[in-house]
Amino acid sequence: MPEQQYDPSIIEAKWQAAWDADPAIYAPSDHAPNGNYYVVEMLPYPSGKLHMGHVRNYSLGDTLARYMWMRGYRVLHPMGWDAYGLPAENAAIKSGRAPRDWTVSNIAVMKGQLKRLGFAIDWSREVATCDPEYYRWNQWFFLKMYERGLAYRKRSRVNWCPLCNTVLANEQVENGCCWRHTTTPVEQREIEQWFFKITHYAEELVNGLEKMQGWPERVRAMQRNWIGRSEGAEVQFNAPNSGVIRVFTTRIDTIFGATCVILAPEHELSAVLIDPQYQPRLKAMIDDPARKDPTSVEKDGFFTGQYAVNPFNGERIPIWIGNFVLVGYGTGAIMAVPAHDERDFEFCTKYGIPIVQVVRDGFLEGSGEYTGLSSDEAWERMTARAERDGFGKRTITYRLRDWGVSRQRYWGTPIPMIHCAACGVVPVPESDLPVLLPDNVEITGEGRSPLERVPEFMNVACPKCGAEARRESDTMDTFVDSSWYFYRYCDPRNREAPFDPKKAAEWMPMKQYIGGITHAIMHLLYSRYWTRVMRDLGMVDHDEPAENLFTQGMVLGTDGTAMSKSKGNVVDPDEMTAKYGADTCRLFTLFAAPPDRDMEWNESSVEGQFRFLGRVFRFVTRNIGVERAGTTAGERQALRKVHQTIAKITTDFDNRWHFNTSIAALMELSNELIALESEIPGEAMPAINEAYVKMLAPFAPYAAQELWSAMGREGQVFKQPWPEFDAALAAEDSVEIPVQVNGKLRGKIVVAVDATSADLEKAALADEKVRPYVDGKQVAKVIVVAGKLVNIVAR
RNA sequence: GCGGAUGUGGCGGAAUUGGCAGACGCGCUAGAUUCAGGUUCUAGUUCUCGCAAGGGAGUGGAGGUUCAAGUCCUCUCAUCCGCACCA
């Protein structure tokens, strides 16, 4: 066949049309000797267009999915849309376009982009979280949690983003700012809202991390840190005029060094203990917005005028109020041990409170009957004593707080609850689900749910007493939507339940979950919680949603910082595919760096991938049906390189996903084949071409498919078996061995692969480049590493 | 402060088990093809001394183990990420 030029605009359009015409093409196959393989990439938010981070994420997952397909697995590779969320509402405020319209049209655009990129996605399982058939199950889960006390309503101080005009969960606050508006400090408001009791599983969630070997240590560490389990004791200090102050400490062994008790300003006793004249000062401390940022705020406090008694030594120590003591952690009160805690030291130094050292070199001093014990032993004994004498107890505290899920916004799942004047909070009966989110709602962005102004939605009869009642107007945090969507993919059209447990059991837990590190805490922690809730509801039989998690690196702009519209360093995947084709785009994202590392987008480097595909394309096509005598040695050498490459790429897939080196290996192979071309007999070419095209298929599906078809082969190349490695064909006849003298490279010898150590030593000592460094010296030792190297130690 | 990473040519990166440092690609240099640009092809490209043959140095830094260290050990520096008055 004459050489064909590589024109991705033609072949990609052609195969895209063919693939699109067959809706079942990417459905899991019936015949799969190696069993099921479920790979999910985190679903995108339909913001308008794909960005390069999506392209990288999905290229990675797709390459893997196609490879697993070729390795004989029954692959499930679905996609969906995290369709609820604030940007849709903000767009509505700006443009007047209804959030649903905006979202639906974005989905259409982005779905087209995903198709053009050639991702092997089973679109028959597509899920959009704003679909009533999806979000009704959010509501259903909400009711189930409510029944079990895992969803509850509480008035509390919450994080409020003045730009989002809504409440944020703790996980969604970064550096005291909203995770979306990273420069706007969150405010504190007292609001009644709904919580999911994630703390119910705190212990399990932290313990589970130890077993999750398929998750990156980085993610597990972040979650461990976030859950923040600490073991300690709660100890009661009697305060003569006000009862009892409970403090939490992890260092009960230092209690003889406690020189004051400090209460958080919000602590219920703070206002009680102080002299009335100090009330304004207390209030100012509570309201000080700077307290959110501990690095810039100086420790501040004042003496209440009251004293508490240390239960261990009966000492009277002053009770202070301190701005650095957190009301939400532990008991909201601490014993200050300035000698052994930096923060206490800072505070006590400032106010002249005594500093008493009670531990030296790990052993206690000045601690009564405990003096001389090691810290560890004292810790145990003192805790036991506190329990025995009833003034304390062993406790474990967590930093993790319950998940606040109420949002005062429109574009989300309505919370299925009704407020009745007579009956209080009444759940919507299961049979009335879904509570539909009304369309045609005016969005103003005010800090109240827009639903409040929709009487058809709000007014409802109380399910209990039938009286007029009002619906809950808040919607759910959209992280609820994404906490379980990978279960829905397993049974996406089920109208009776979120999913059939049997169908979910076929696939879940996910064999491989892939996404960005940004979700290390929020999404991934919520998902782990949700899986446990479903387990306790009897719906699933496992604890963790994903066996293996892969967090890919970010795509950075050419200036080395994350791409963002404001910086103007965004690369548009559409422009890239229009110019070079989807295959080049995919190849580049995999080639530029190992997938777990951040990568810089570099346009000139992209051209290299395009050139490579062109070279391969021309080579394969001009060798289809070629008549050429060639040589036996040429054939041997070509096949050897082919099989060495099979081994290399297979290892990359099975062990470490360093696809940058897999693609480099494909380049090396094509370089070698092109160099050898005139020596390769025509009869050898079909097998060589076939192996090459198959290996290319997971990375560049369009080009590979076109070549497969040009070779006269039927069907889809990604459904063909992966090339079989033949060790005999890959074996070298002879091998070049470096020879070192005293560790420095001095020569090279070429020997038969099966040369013995004695042969190697003899050849090395005889080598003329080596001899000048050895002659006249005493050879003390010769180290021979078979097949690797010879090192002569000469003195 | 706690935790997790990362440091290798002009650049992205490779070296998977302690065994030839710099694969592969970009860029660059020279040449061929072309009216020209682009494309394609050939050769070269860690630094340094040298016309060359050849030598020396070299994986953030300092030590160490070893016949042999980018890789192992100790110390140290720098950068990035996450968490952070969490008692």
CA distance A314 to A305: 18
The structure tokens 């999404």 sit at: A523
Among A434, A539, A403, which residue's Cα sits nearest to residue A143? A434
CA distance A472 to A426: 10
Strand B at less than 7 A from CB of A795: no
- pLDDT level of residue A604 (50, 70, 90 thresholds): confident
Strand B at less than 7 A from CB of A425: no
CA distance A119 to A26: 9
SS (HEC) of A572-608: CHHHHHHHHCHHHHHHHHHHCCCCCCCEECCHHHHHH
The structure tokens 């890959």 sit at: A730
Q: Round and report the angstrom distance from CA (A338) to C1' (B63).
A: 39
Count how many residues are written for chain A.
Answer: 795
The pLDDT of A338-353, averaged and rounded, is: 92
Contact A186, A178 (CB under 8 A): yes
For A429, the 3-state DSSP assignment is coil
Q: Which residue type occupies A523?
A: H
Q: Which residue type occupies A574?
A: D
pLDDT of residue A779: 86
- pLDDT level of residue A753 (50, 70, 90 thresholds): confident
Residue A295 has pLDDT above 80, yes or no: no
| Predicted confidence (pLDDT) per residue in A393-436, tens digit | 999 999 999 998 998 889 999 999 999 999 999 999 999 999 99
A286, burial (CB in 10 Å: exposed 0-12, middle 13-18, buried 19+): middle
Strand B at less than 7 A from CB of A716: no
Among A768, A222, A164, which residue's Cα sits nearest to residue A449? A164
- pLDDT level of residue A183 (50, 70, 90 thresholds): confident
For A783, the 3-state DSSP assignment is strand
- pLDDT level of residue A31 (50, 70, 90 thresholds): confident
Identify the residues numbered 724 to 783 in chain A whose C-beta atom is closer than 7 Å to any atom of strand B. 736, 738, 740, 742-746, 748, 781, 783
Nucleotide nearest to A219 (CA to C1'): B4
Two structure tokens written together for A223: 């979650």
pLDDT of residue A557: 73
Identify the residues numbered 668 to 687 in chain A whose C-beta atom is closer than 7 Å to any atom of strand B. 668, 671, 674-675
pLDDT of residue A565: 65
Strand B at less than 7 A from CB of A599: yes
**Does this complex have an ipTM over 0.90?**
yes
Strand B at less than 7 A from CB of A520: yes
Residue A164 has pLDDT above 80, yes or no: no
Instruction: Give all strands (DSSP E) within A545-704, no chain letters.
Output: 549-552, 555-556, 599-600
Q: Which residue type occupies A562?
A: A
Q: Round and report the angstrom distance from CA (A329) to C1' (B6).
A: 34
pLDDT of residue A171: 64
Among A427, A432, A506, which residue's Cα sits nearest to residue A471? A427
Per DSSP, the residues of A433-472 read ---PPPSS------SS-GGGG-HHHHEEE-TTT--EEEE-
Two structure tokens written together for A632: 């036996």
Q: Round and report the angstrom distance from CA (A643) to C1' (B70).
A: 29
Q: Which residue is nearest to nucleotide B13 (CA to C1')?
A: A593
For A651, the 3-state DSSP assignment is helix
CA distance A37 to A26: 13
Q: Round and report the angstrom distance from CA (A673) to C1' (B41).
A: 15
pLDDT of residue A766: 87
Q: Round and report the angstrom distance from CA (A771) to C1' (B54).
A: 15
A743 Cβ contact list (under 8 Å, min separation 6): A791
Identify the residues numbered 231 to 250 in chain A whose C-beta atom is closer than 7 Å to any atom of strand B. 232, 248-250
CA distance A750 to A737: 6
pLDDT of residue A294: 57
pLDDT of residue A287: 79
- Count of other CB atoms within 10 angstroms of residue A600: 15
Residue A125 has pLDDT above 80, yes or no: yes
- Count of other CB atoms within 10 angstroms of residue A313: 13
Among A16, A353, A405, which residue's Cα sits nearest to residue A172? A405
The structure tokens 């892969």 sit at: A550
Taking only Cα atoms into account, the Rg of chain A, rounded to an integer number of angstroms, comes to 34
Nucleotide nearest to A610 (CA to C1'): B25
A514, burial (CB in 10 Å: exposed 0-12, middle 13-18, buried 19+): buried
Two structure tokens written together for A562: 């994350």
Q: What is the mean pLDDT of chain A?
A: 91
Q: Round and report the angstrom distance from CA (A342) to C1' (B1).
A: 9
Nucleotide nearest to A230 (CA to C1'): B86
Strand B at less than 7 A from CB of A355: no
Instruction: Give all strands (DSSP E) within A298-423, no chain letters.
Output: 301-309, 316-322, 333-336, 359-360, 363-364, 392-397, 403-404, 406-407, 417-420
CA distance A784 to A759: 10
Strand B at less than 7 A from CB of A350: no
A756 Cβ contact list (under 8 Å, min separation 6): none
Top mean pLDDT of A178-192, A236-250, A279-293 is at A236-250
A297 Cβ contact list (under 8 Å, min separation 6): A288, A290, A291, A323, A324
pLDDT of residue A40: 97
**Strand B nucleotides with an atom less than 7 Å from a protein beta carbon:** 2-5, 11-16, 19-21, 23-27, 39-42, 55-56, 67-69, 81-87
Percent helix, percent strand, percent coil in chain A, to nearest 5:
45, 20, 35
Residue A458 has pLDDT above 70, yes or no: yes
A342 Cβ contact list (under 8 Å, min separation 6): none
Strand B at less than 7 A from CB of A230: yes
Q: Round and report the angstrom distance from CA (A744) to C1' (B48).
A: 18
The structure tokens 């003591």 sit at: A325
Contact A460, A451 (CB under 8 A): no
Residue that wins the pLDDT comparison between A685 and A556: A685
CA distance A535 to A178: 32
Residue A370 has pLDDT above 90, yes or no: yes
Q: Round and report the angstrom distance from CA (A211) to C1' (B38).
A: 57
Q: Round and report the angstrom distance from CA (A743) to C1' (B69).
A: 11
Q: Which residue is nearest to nucleotide B27 (CA to C1')?
A: A604
- The mean-pLDDT minimum among A162-166, A470-474, A531-535, A627-631 falls in A162-166
- The mean-pLDDT minimum among A172-176, A527-531, A713-717 falls in A172-176
Among A703, A709, A699, which residue's Cα sits nearest to residue A660? A699
CA distance A261 to A367: 18
List the strands of the sheet with A744-752, edge to edge. A744-752, A734-741, A789-794, A779-785
Residue A447 has pLDDT above 70, yes or no: no
| Predicted confidence (pLDDT) per residue in A508-560, tens digit | 999 999 999 888 889 999 999 999 999 999 999 999 999 999 999 988 876 66
A13 Cβ contact list (under 8 Å, min separation 6): none
CA distance A715 to A789: 47
- pLDDT level of residue A745 (50, 70, 90 thresholds): confident
Contact A163, A178 (CB under 8 A): yes
